[in-house]
Structure 1
C-alpha cells in the first residue's frame, strides 16, 4: 500500500502526521506477551484497499492496548469530514461541522460508510487519524446500488443511551447526494477519533456463546488449565424472541437491566434466599436475574467447583454434558485477563454443559421456564477477580512457608531487600481456629533481621498492596506480635514501602556501594546465628551484582569490574558457609562450583565443597578436594583434620560395605560343580 500525507492546505502539519504503513514497536515491558490476538501483542494492521489512505494525526497513547477492532465489535468514534473537488485539486470545502457527538456502530454491519468500516480496523484505542476516501468508499450505505432512497436517513444510537431508536447524524455519513453531482469527482477526507469499543468473541465459533467485553482487565496475565480463579458471577434469562438483539445489547445490559425490569412491576416477582452471597430472583418478562454470587472459586478443567451452597455444591451431580468441568465457564475464563469483566450470551444447552445439576433448580420458576423454551438464551456476567495461586516462599524451598495470593497484579512493584516495609497482619489463627493477633502492623527493613525468618520470607515474596494468606508449618516465634506456635495461618497485606539504597542508587558506582553495604549487613546477620536469612542475603546480593555491568569505555571501568568479581566471589563463599551450617549440602556444591569455574584453585571453595561431599557421604570426592587444599597450603590444620575425618569415614563405610557383600554372598549359597549340572 502506497503511503501518503495530507497537503498543507488541509491544515495538518507535516510533523504531526505519520505516514502509513509504519513499523510499530511493542510498548515497553510487553515484549514477552506474544500470544496471537492478544491485547499486548502488536499484530500487523490490515492493509487498506485502493481508494482508502490513512495518516495518523495523533497516535494511541503510551500504554494503550495494541489489539485492533475486528468485525462484529462495537466501536465508539468521533468524526468530522471535508470533501475535495478534484476539479480544483486539494481545495477543501466544509461539508458538515462536527458537533462533538459520539457515534456507536457495529463493524461489518453496513451501518456506516464503507471507508469508515475499513479504516477503523487499522486503528488503536485513543488514536486519531485522517482517511482519504474515494467516492466508492464515501457513499452512504443506503445509497449504494439497489437502495431506493438516495439520501437514506439512518438511525445511529447515541453513546451511553439506553434506547436504540435515537437519531444521530454523523458527519460524513450521508454524502451520496453530493458525491453524485454531475461532473464532480468527490474525495472525502474523514478525521476519526477512536474513543471506545466493545470487543466480541464467538467462543465456540457456532454462535452458541458470544462473549462481550464490558471492562478490560488491569493485568496482562490470563489463567491456565488447572488454575483456581476467584470470580463473581450472575445469570439471567433473556427473552426467547430477543436472541439476536441481546448480542448487540450486552454492553448496556450490565447497567440497564435492573431499570428495565422495574418498568414491569405487574409482571415481576423477586425471591430472596438466605444463602450466603447468593441472590435468586425471577422476572416473567423479557429478562430476570437468576442468581448472583460474589466470590466463586473455580478450578479450570477440574472436577471440583467450590463456592456458596447450594448453587455449587462440591461433588454434586453434573449437568447433561457428562464433563468433569463447567465447559462454558472454563472457556470464558481462559479468554479473560485478571480484573476483566465480560458478559456471555449463550444457549441453554451450552450453559448447562458440565454445569452443576442444581444450577437452575434453585428457582423453580426459572427452571420450568427454561425447560419450556429450549431456544431460550441466557446472559452470564463474569468478573475475573484474582488467580488463587499457592507458592512455596520459604528460603529453603521446603514448603515450610507457603503463600496463597488473594489480591495481586503483575504491574505492582515488589518489595526489595533493604527497603522499609509496612506489613499488616490482618489476622493470625492456629489449627484450632483460635485468633492470636488481629490488625497488627510491623515496620521493618527487609533483610536486617528485625523480624523472624518466616516474616522476612513473606515480605520478600509480596508486592506492594498485595493481600495474601500464609501458612507456616514449622514453629514461628515473633516477639513483636507476641507469637510462638506451630501451624499458624496468617492474613497479610503490604500497606507501605520505602525503597532501599539499591533502588535509589543512580549509576553503577552508587549501586556497587549499596551492595557492599548489604554484604556487610549479611555478615552481621550471620554472626547473630541467622544462617537461613544470611544465606538469602548473600544470594540476593550476588543476583543484583549482575546488573552492575558498566565497564567498557568508562573511566575506572576495569577497576569496577574487578571489584564486582571479588564481591560476587565473597557472596558465594559466604553463602556456602551459611548453607553448611544449615546442612544444605547440595546447595553448597552449587555455590562452590560457581566460584571454582572462575578460580579453580580457590582454597575456601575447595575446602567447603569437601565438607559438603562429606556431608553427602561422598568420601571419594571429599578426599580429592581435601588433598587439593593440602597441595595449596600443606600446613593447614583445618584441612588435616578434615582429611582425618574423611579417612575415618571411608574406613567405616568400607567395613559396612564388606559386611553387606558377605551377607549377599552367603544368601547365594553354594553353587553346584559345572560337571554335575545336566
Structure 2
C-alpha cells in the first residue's frame, strides 16, 4: 500500500458541466494544475486587432513587415491593445482582444462559468481546444492561470493570455493534454456565461456524490503533481459537499455511497497533510475517517505514521498492529511496524540510561548501592539500640520513683 496507491482511489474521469456545480464557497484561489476538464486555448494565428492609423503616408499596399513596424512605432492604442501584467512578475499577462459587457459583468468566485478555450505552446503548436468548458471559479478545477484570469474578464470578452509554466503545468508537464515540462503557454479565452452554483442541499443524491467525487479526483491530480496544499483545498471542498445536509430524500444505499466518498477524502487529505508536516491536522483527519469506518486500514496505517512522527511510539505500534491484524499480508504495514518496534526499543534504552545518570553512579552502581544499603542498615541498627536503652532507663527511673514514694 504505497502512497501513490492510496491516493488513487478512483481514476481520472471527465466531469460534465452539471457535475461541477455547487454552492458558492470560499476556496483557495491559487489552485495548481489542470486536469480532465481543463481545456486551454491560446493565441489564434489570426492577425491582431486593427490598430489606430499611424498616418504618415503609408499606403494600402504596405506589406505586413512594414505594418508591424508602423504598429510598433505608433503610440499605445489604448487599453484594448495593451498587455496587463496580472501578478506583477511578468509571468501571467492578459490582453483584451474583444471587449466585454463591462466590469459589472465579471464573474465571482464560487460561480459556475463557461468558456471557450484554446491552448498553444510557445512555438504556436495547438495543444488542446475545447469549447464550452465549465468549471467552478476559484475551486482549483483548472490550471491556476485560468482561475486567476477568468475573474478579471467581462462577459463576452475575448482575451489572449501568456502564462509561465509555474501557473500552468509546472515542472512536470502533463500527459493529457500533452504538455512538455516547464512549458510556457498561450491561451485564447472567451467568457461565455457565469451562473450561481445550485444549493448542494437540494441536489439529488447521485449528483451530490458525483460532484464530491469530481472534487476529490481533482485533489488526486494535485497530489500526484506534488501540489499538496491545493490537494487539501480540493479535498476540503469535496468534504463540504459530502457533509452537507440533504433537503431531498436519500436512500440508505445512497447515504453509504456518499459516506464512502467522505472517507476517501479524509484518507487522502491525511496523506496530503502528512506531506506538509501538518501532523495534528493529519491525525484529526484519520480519527474522523475511523469514526465512520473503525476498521479502515488506510486510516489506521496513516494514523500509526502520524503518531510515530509525533514520538508516540507505543500508541503507534498498537495502531499498526491493529491494521496488520486486519490485513496480515500487507508488507508495507509489516515494514513500518518493524521499524517502529526497533526505534521504540532504542528510545527506551536511551531513557533508561538517562534515568541512571540522573540518579548518579551510572556505571557499576551495584557495589556502591550495596555499601549504601549496608550503611543505612547499620545506622538503623544503632538507632534501635539507642532507643531501646533509653526506654529501659526511663522505665527504671519510673520504678525507682514509685519505690521511694512508697517508702515515704
Structure label with greater radius of gyration: 2
Instruction: Tell me the TM-score normalised to structure 1 length.
Output: 0.28
Q: Which has the higher strand share?
A: 1
Q: Which has the higher helix share?
A: 2
Instruction: Tell me the TM-score normalised to structure 2 length.
Output: 0.45
